[in-house]
Chain A
Amino acid sequence: MRKDSRMTRRQLLRIAGGVGVSAAGVAALAACGEAEPQIVTKEVPVEKIVVKEVPVETVVTKTEIKEVPVQTVVTQTEIKEVPVERIVTQEKVVTKEVPVERVVTREVVKEVVKEVPAMREKVKVRWQEVWADAFQPTIEEKMIPGFEAQFPYIEIVNERIEEAQMYEIYLTQIAGGDPPDVIQIQESRVPQFAVRGGIIPLDAFIGKAGLNLSEIFYAGEWPKGSWLGVQYALPLDNTGAWYLFWWNKDTFEEVGLDPDTPPTTWTELEEMALKTTVREGGEITRHGMFVPEMIKGARTDASFKGWQFPAGGHMFTEDAKQVLFDDAIGLRNVTWQLDMVEKLNDGWDNIQGYMDAVGASRTAFYNDLLTMRVEGVWFLGVMRRDAPDINAGVTHMPYDDTNPNAKPRSISDDGWSYGMPKGAQNLEEGWEWLRYLTADQGNLDFMGNLKRPSSVPKFNEDPLYQTEPLWNDLKSVLPLVEASPITPVNPDIDQLLKDEMELMMAGKQSPEETLASMAGQTRELLDEFFDSL
């Protein structure tokens, strides 16, 4: 006989009763468990000693200065200088010092304090970054423990992601509603995220923490993390100096140049590059310099921007709405680069092979196949790792001495920073970690380990760096860096600059056509974007 497997009504009621009792038990147990710790905010009276200081009184007497120019009378035979009426005036500055009145009072004020319960449950802050590979020990043994000692209720979860996929990952996480709390982001991409609400404004946190960004960071660094006056990210490193000039001192000595005197102008650069070039059997066996090769990889966009500033030019107006490079300086920049390729390297074909993704130009520099090159601050650490014995020097980019307004300066329109993505769960805790990574000890730990300049000037004075012989030379270039405006269409502009410069180098278009095309396309992108706002 087949056993009937159907459930009787009594069995059903028994099971339902059992489930009900179990659920009630679970609920009761849960109620007996540890309650969620709360942050208690309360006002407590605090007695404070207030010291008032009356400032030094300064009295300045100003006198107007008038100058009458030299008058020159030209006759047919001679030039006569008529005596000039010279009014010499003096500016008298009288500084009157008044003794400082020091008033010490005791006041009872009410201060809002946050009480964190001792048993507070830890908040996990998810931190995604792309650099940790070689620096995992520093992160795990120094940075995270250092931070967690200060903030015992925060646990940092380090999630390393691939740089090549970082934006795919960020966007997918944000769209999926599961972003991390703190992300590493390139400053060239900050406005792109900001204009779409993909990254959280930091102004409220910065204000609450009382941070004065211009006092903490280099002037060329912190503005890159902002968009339309709102700060969205704080800088990690000083990548402002994307364009530093490196030379091989041994090769300089070999050809009779002073190893400690690098070229400071474009004329000197050409002379020294020709002097260090070696030709054998009609072929160049050692190049002096690849002028359009910068950074690593086929970044001809970088070569345009990189030489534009020492040429005495600019890229955009301060509000980023107008193109400024479409002028005589821009034309001089592209024409000079093309001329140098012909004069120093016998054509683009001899350079192109070194402009690859694997860093052949670096290898050439290490192996005395290339004497001078341009790369950013990071090259110091890379060079020490790859070729520790190389006797190299570093200085600012040579400037165009045919332009009286040109001077040693460098553009900064990218770099690494940290921000908090849209949908981040732990904003307060995430901010504390972000601040630690950028403006606090975490930044020194990380950047010092890399032997790479920090975005915080005072950290660059740390003894951690002083073992590096080139450190002071490198550090001296950092103040020459100027931030250039970044817009949400920056990545598209970089791409078109690269494409157009490459076409010119390959002989497909003239410098004039190149400049006109770059300027036209850039204007179109900027106009389209600003019109859409």
Chain B
Amino acid sequence: MRAPRWTIGRREAVWGFVFISPWVLGFLIFSLGPMVAIIAWGFTEYDILQAPKLAGLENYIEIFTEDEKFLKSLANTAIYVGLLVPCQVVIGFLLAVLVNTKLPMAALFRAFYFLPTIMPLVVASIVWAWVLQPELGLLKFLLEDTMGIPTPRFMVDEYWSKPGIVILTVWSSIGVQMILFLAALQAVPPHLYEAAEIDGAGPLRKLIHVTIPLVSPTIFLVIIIGIINSFQVFTTAFVLTQGGPLDSTLFYVLYLWRKAFVSFEFGYASALATILFIIIMFLTALSFWVSRRLVHYEQPES
């Protein structure tokens, strides 16, 4: 008896699974597996060199009741995220608008703005350390020594250290946001602008009533990616400040790293990582909930 032929839909589904299987396998082995392990280690006393010992909720109790640096690092990270993500959205969007115009050499500007993105963050951090250096830095030379304008003491003042790292991060990552916004801007149908112009809308009204609503899904995407990435800030603080001055740049992941690789408290660090995972999940869910009211999705024509 002949086997029944597969329908086109089923065949496409099988091929679909075949094509995504490398990613699925990679996710299961390299992402989900470690995630499950980290959640489990959070309930143990573990130093990676010896077998873990079950510790119940001890790590979590210590984190929430005794660990001052946990709260300090969490607060530092929250402030950093609060400063960075709006900057990425606003500056990324404005740059995209700028390079989307029909200016001469617009393509060259796009390339220039994107260039820092391909520079390794460690290298960028060292370059910026010299630019922002409060005594011998380029910024001080240009502003204070040449023009007499007082320069903030980035990286050594506890109040200016986070803005310093935000400036560096915006510079090194803005190319990605710009490209995302540029793609969204170029997808806005020109007839909507024409209709707005016929209705007498100026450039600002067109921006507020046409452009922003239509790129709002991209704004949402940039915010979500920004939150997820910036909560995991590590390299810049590790290279530039090692958490100082006065723990003002002791970000959550830097603190977690210290616990794991300086103090060899992997169980504790795993508990910290689990808490960070829950925080990011919560903020992402919250963003999705808020986005239902603020993000405009074009309905496909039926």
Contact = CB atoms under 8 A, between A and B. Distances in A.
B134 A353 contact: yes
Interface string B14-51: 00000000000000000000000000000000011110
Contacts of A174: 48-49
Interface of B: 47-50, 126, 129-130, 133-136, 153, 155-156, 158, 238-242, 244-247, 258, 261-264
The main secondary structure of chain B at its interface with chain A is loop
Contacts of B244: 298, 502
Contacts of B258: 495
Given A353-B135, A358-B126, A492-B262, 17 more contacts: A164-B238, A174-B48, A174-B49, A175-B49, A196-B47, A196-B264, A352-B153, A353-B133, A353-B134, A356-B133, A357-B242, A358-B129, A358-B130, A358-B133, A360-B133, A363-B136, A492-B263
A27 interface: no
Interface of A: 164, 167-168, 171, 174-175, 192-193, 196-198, 297-298, 349, 352-358, 360, 363-364, 422, 491-492, 495, 499, 502-503, 506, 508
A491 B263 CA distance: 7
A196 B239 contact: no
Contacts of A352: 134, 153, 156, 245
B129 A356 contact: yes
B138 to A, nearest CB: 12
A171 B264 CA distance: 10
The main secondary structure of chain A at its interface with chain B is helix
Contact of B135 (A193, A357, A360): A360
Nearest to A503: B246
Given A175-B49, A358-B129, A364 B156 contact: no
Nearest to A297: B242
A264 to B, nearest CB: 29
Contacts of B130: 358
Nearest to A299: B242
A139 B49 CA distance: 31
A6 to B, nearest CB: 12
Nearest to B125: A357
Contacts of A356: 129, 133, 155-156, 240
Contacts of A198: 49
A508 B48 contact: no
Given A193-B49, A358-B133, A495-B258, A353 B263 contact: no
Contacts of B48: 171, 174-175
A193 B48 CA distance: 11
Contacts of B264: 192, 196
Given A198-B49, A503-B246, A354 B262 contact: no
Contacts of B247: 499
